Amino acid sequence: MEITYYPNPLLRKIAKPVAKITPQVLQTLDNMLALMYVANDKGGVGLAGPQVGLSERLLVIDPSHEDEERTPYFLINPEIVELSGEDCEYEEGCLSLPGIYAPVVRPEKCILKYLDREGKEQIIKADGFLARVIQHEMDHLNGKLFIDYLSPLRKKIIAKKLKMLEERYG
């Protein structure tokens, strides 16, 4: 399993729902989490199916800080059911867009519905950093990247870095 890099067209596709939770799906989630932890020195706190070459609605997230106990979430067929709160700006990056960081405005809270590893529906009421990570990773399942939220000026600022990624991974 490897990270899928921009401009891979899979990053722009809407991922398909997982039809059935099988041992293979659970192994995929475990592999995604392991890859995310390996990539954590690059700031990885979440990973979506499309970021590992799978057009499936799978996410792994661990918003814990280095000095905290790990708290991974395994999310199957997640769906944001509510966005709320003030809009907050925070610098984001992405494992699929290495070396690119920019401020992104997102709502400070969200409610997420998903299936856990046993197929039981769960709900997360998130705010702050966790809400941001959830929204960022959900965008991956919907064919969006954080750079899509940038102003024309910000896009112009990162254009050279995007061109380098296109040349390297395109």
Q: CB-based contacts of 164: which residues, under 8 Å, 6+ apart? A: none
List the catalytic residue out of 86, 91, 137, 167.
137
Q: In what order do the strands lie in the sheet with 73-92?
A: 46-48, 58-61, 73-92, 102-115, 121-127
- CA pair distance 108, 158, nearest whole angstrom: 25
**Is 82 considered catalytic here?**
no
* 149 and 158 Cβ atoms separated by less than 8 Å: no
* 56 and 45 Cβ atoms separated by less than 8 Å: no
Instruction: Find residue 61's DSSP bridge partners.
Output: 46, 73
Q: Which amino acid is at 159?
A: A
Q: Which residues are catalytic?
A: 137
